[in-house]
Amino acid sequence: MVGERIEADHVVWATSVVAMKNVFRNHFAETTWFKKIEKLKMMHACTFQIELTEPVLSKDITTFGPNSCLGSFSEQSRSTFQGSKGRLSIILTPPEKFLELSKEETLEIVLEDLKRVKIHIGREQIIDYQKIDHPNDFYSLAPGNNQYRPKQTTPIKNLYLAGDYTLQPYFATMEGAATSGMKAAKLVEDGNRS
């Protein structure tokens, strides 16, 4: 509940980098540890989902759309969204271009670029669609930025970080987030043994 105080022997802070920075900035802004994290540059993301009357691809696998706004896309009605008749999920590129556009404007661009990769969707096939903006939601993959990713350990006793932005072998992915969570859990487990 809001305002309720919860005490714990160990805390694993498992959030996005934006949420972590926003909360920790209030308490650790002047520490050397956090100043390094503040240097971690951010990047935008923009995704687009289209609910369809039927699947548009024969398999639910991730595909890339070179020379288009389709950074990657996949049919997901047989896997992630089994309640859908057809579900196309798209990561748009470059995201900055789409953050300011309406979902209707974005749909027009997406449909044109789908044709370029030989996927034709008629208006009658579209049940619904949505654009989701993620401004500054991920750490930037730009050269030199990796050095600012924090470890799961912190200088605060029994406080650990988990998230794809932490230092682990993967980039800004679900695998990275899960790996960092497992690393943080192992640190808590090891601390309980000492």
Instruction: State whether 93 and 114 are in the same domain.
Output: yes
Top-confidence residue, 6 or 182: 182
Residue 63 has pLDDT above 80, yes or no: yes
> Is the same domain home to 53 and 111?
yes
Euclidean distance between CA atoms 180 and 110, whole angstroms: 34
175 pLDDT above the threshold of 70: yes
99 in the same domain as 179: no
Same domain (yes/no): 115, 158: no
Task: Identify whether residues 132 and 56 lie together within a single domain.
Answer: yes
Residues 33 and 50 in one domain: no
What's the whole-number average pLDDT of the chain? 92
Domain range enclosing 189: 11-40+142-193
Residues 86 and 27 in one domain: no
Comparing CA positions, the residue from 55, 51, 89, 42 lying closest to residue 70 is 89
Q: Mean of the pLDDT values across residues 3-22?
A: 90
What whole-number distance in Å separates Cα of residue 94 and Cα of residue 97? 6
Q: Are residues 103 and 83 in the same domain?
A: yes
| 91-126 residue pLDDT tens | 999 999 999 999 999 999 999 999 999 999 999 999
Query: What pLDDT, on the 0 to 100 scale, is given for residue 192?
Result: 60
Instruction: With beta carbons less than 8 A apart as the criterion, state whether 85 and 66 touch.
Output: no
Q: Is residue 154, in this structure, part of any structural domain at all?
A: yes
For the chain, how many structural domains are there in total? 2
Q: What is the pLDDT of residue 132?
A: 96
- pLDDT given at position 194: 43
* Closest listed residue to residue 159, CA positions, set 43, 1, 23: 23
Residues 116 and 146 in one domain: no
Q: Under DSSP, is residue 126 helix (H, G, I), strand (E, B) or coil?
A: strand
Partners of 51 in beta bridges:
87, 128
pTM given for the model: 0.76
31-45, pLDDT tens digit by residue? 999 999 999 999 999
